[in-house]
Structures are given as C-alpha cells and as structure tokens.
Amino acid sequence: MPRRPTADPEDPVPFQPDEGTGSGRPTREGPGALRRNPGPALVALGAFCATLALLLRFYVYGQLAVLPGGIELELPLVDESASYLDTSTWKTVEEAEVRRTTTIDGTVRPGDSGGATWEISVDTATPDTMLDHTDRRVIVDRSTGRAVNCCGEHVAGDRAVRQAGLVLYWPAGAADREHTFYDADIRAAPRMVFDGHEDIAGVPTRRYVQQIESTQIPDSARQVPASALDLERSGTVEASRWLELRRTYWVEPVSGYLVRAVEERRETLRAEDRGGERVLLDAELAMPDRSVAAYAERAENRARLLSALRAWVPIGLGAVGGPLVLVGLAWSFVRDRRAAMADPPSAESGEPEPAAGE
C-alpha cells in the first residue's frame, strides 16, 4: 500500500490533503487569493465609503455646525467724523473719532455642551474720553445662536431682563428670512430683515437690516442742567436717553458668521416733562477694512469646512462607494459562475463515473 506523502517541516506551504481524492495538495492563502477574487474586498471598501459619507453628513457636520464652545472676540466699529455731547462741559464736539467696541468672552456651560455663557461688554469712547459702557451676560444656544433665559443672565446688572433672539451669529445654513436680534440698549429684539446679497471682501454674504425708531432707553433717567437742554429755567431736570438706530449686518450664509457691520446711531437726551432735547451722539459706525478682511477670511474658512462635511466629501465618498460595491458584487458573481462551470462533477454529486475503456 503506497504511503501518503508527508509535509516537509522546512516547506513554508502547509500540507493539506485534498478533500475529494485524498491526495496531498499545497493550499496557498493570502494576497494570492485576494488577487484571484478581489470582489469581497471591493464590497467592503465600498460599504466603508458609503458608511463614512453618511457619518460625515449626518453626525460630524451636526457636531461642527454649532457655534464654538469657547470664544474670544472683539468687534470694533469706528466713525472718524462723529459728533457727541461732552457732558463734562455740556458742549458738542464735532468731527471727532468715536469707537464702539464689543468684546465677547464665551465658555461652554458646565454639564451642558449645547449652551455657552457669553460675557459681553460694549464701550463707546473717543481716544480721550469714555462716553458709555454697558455689560451683560447671555446664555446662547449653540445650535440656533439664540439667547436662552437662564443661569444668571443680566443686562447692566438687571437680572429681571429676559433676552431673546440672535446674539451675534446666525445659525449655519439659515434661510434668507428675517430674524429677531437682541439690542441690549432698548432691551428688546426687533427683527432684522433680509435686504439682499452682496460680496464683501470676496465673500458672498446676505445683508440684513434692523431699524429701531426713536425709543427710550430703560433706566437711563438722570439729572442734567436745564440750560444744557436749552430750557429757560435754572436748576436741573430729569432727562432720559433715546436711541434711533439702523443696524446693517453682512452674514456669510453657510457658516452664519458675521463679515461686516455698520451702525448708524443717533442718541438724544430728552427732558421728561418740558420737551428739551440735546444730541448725545450722532455717528455712522463701521467696521474697519482690516477687521472686515479678518472676519471675511474666518467666515470663508468656516464655510469651506462645513460645505465639505455637508456635501463635497459625502458626495465624493458616495460616488466612489456605490460603484465599488456593485463592481465587487459583479466580480464575485462572475467568478463563482465561472468556477461552477469549470469544476468537474464530484463523487458526492451522485453521477456515475465512466468505466475504464469507454
């Protein structure tokens, strides 16, 4: 009886007996098998691309489209030919430089990653004199950009106030419609109306305008000399600040980031009972060109990232993944069919083998 061959211990190819004939045949697995049938690998790669496309579009984009958790921002507005009332001398100063600077310091709220606490201060000043200062705390919903009423919010120390509407940013990808926007001076949120499209520093933007008619500023009453309001009497009178404002913002729509801002402000001091009035501030405050360029670059970079995550990369991965799955399935089907046609009938199939000599 012939001896069955044995494997050479130094042979790197393992010996396995053939299941059909019992004869020993070397079996090779690994890269060679993949080269003979890449179908499963193509299907797996295509499925991976399709899954990654869905993950980027419906999860990663949503995580990154919200407002930044931590933020340190300065928004300067300048008019080099403004006029204002110097309340130390009660004289009007013409053709003066006035700067209104908004500073924002924001942090993620502990235990609530969906909200951020913004400490906002606004200083209106000349190079030599502080004209006005206000500060407030607002809780911002990072998904909508809107104020949330909670957690110690205040305007100038008034904790009874309830802020509402947008604070600075628009929601990413927001529709070109009107939005309420909070003004801390009048403590209300008039609507900002969509006013058209415009390219600013090479960045496509949407222009929004908020118009505030002459409105009394809450808690602004103070005693002023009657003569300062051109009243024919001695002593002092109680007067309040009134604000008339046209605010224009240019917003990059994909990111929701501000690119440019202009505020046409007219503030007056009016006597409560005798009708005297004096202009406190008359200025057209605009963001300097250097700041516009920096804000535009920041918004453009953000828009590219969000566009890539929402559309470009998922579409590209989908365009690659789908065909890879189809090609892999087709390859495997054709190979299996060819293998079935090429294999001889086996003993297990029940078909008789031809007799010798036939």
The string of pLDDT tens digits covering residues 287-318 is 999 999 999 999 999 999 999 888 878 788 77
Query: Residue 297 is encoded by which pair of tokens?
Result: 């670059």
For residue 163, is it within any domain?
yes
Lowest-confidence pick of 242-256, 276-290, 314-328: 314-328
CA distance 104 to 13: 70
Confidence of residue 357 (pLDDT cuts 50, 70, 90): very low
With a pLDDT cut of 90, the percent of the chain lying above it is 58
**Torsion of Cα atoms, 78 then 82 then 87 then 91, to 10°:** 160
With a pLDDT cut of 70, the percent of the chain lying above it is 82
How much is the average pLDDT of 305-334?
A: 78
Residue 155, class by beta-carbon neighbours within 10 Å (0-12 exposed, 13-18 middle, 19+ buried)? Answer: buried
**Does residue 3 register a pLDDT over 60?**
no
For residue 318, is it within any domain?
no
Confidence of residue 49 (pLDDT cuts 50, 70, 90): confident
Confidence of residue 117 (pLDDT cuts 50, 70, 90): very high
pLDDT score for 260: 98
For residue 44, is it within any domain?
no
pLDDT score for 38: 78
Query: Residue 309 is encoded by which pair of tokens?
Result: 């995550």
For residue 91, is it within any domain?
yes
Confidence of residue 325 (pLDDT cuts 50, 70, 90): confident
The string of pLDDT tens digits covering residues 197-208 is 999 999 999 999
Closest CA to 152 of 119, 105, 106: 119
For residue 6, is it within any domain?
no
Beta strands in the chain (DSSP E): 15-17, 24-26, 71-86, 91-109, 112-125, 130-141, 147-148, 154-155, 179-180, 191-200, 203-216, 222-225, 236-251, 258-271, 277-286
Q: Which residues pair with 87 in a beta bridge?
A: none
pLDDT score for 13: 47
CA distance 297 to 23: 73
Which residue has tokens 């801002």? 261
Confidence of residue 22 (pLDDT cuts 50, 70, 90): very low
For residue 140, is it within any domain?
yes
pLDDT score for 31: 55
How much is the average pLDDT of 183-201?
A: 97
Confidence of residue 51 (pLDDT cuts 50, 70, 90): confident
The string of pLDDT tens digits covering residues 261-272 is 999 999 999 998
Lowest-confidence pick of 33-47, 303-317, 341-355: 341-355
Domain that holds residue 202: 65-309
How much is the average pLDDT of 40-46?
A: 80
For residue 320, is it within any domain?
no
**Does residue 112 register a pLDDT over 60?**
yes
Ranges of H-type helices in the chain: 31-36, 39-55, 61-64, 289-307, 313-342
pLDDT score for 333: 67
For residue 8, is it within any domain?
no
The string of pLDDT tens digits covering residues 127-168 is 999 999 999 999 999 999 999 998 899 999 999 999 999 999
The string of pLDDT tens digits covering residues 57-76 is 888 888 888 988 889 999 99
How many domains would you assign to the chain? 1
What number of other Cβ atoms are within 10 A of residue 4's Cβ?
10
Confidence of residue 253 (pLDDT cuts 50, 70, 90): very high
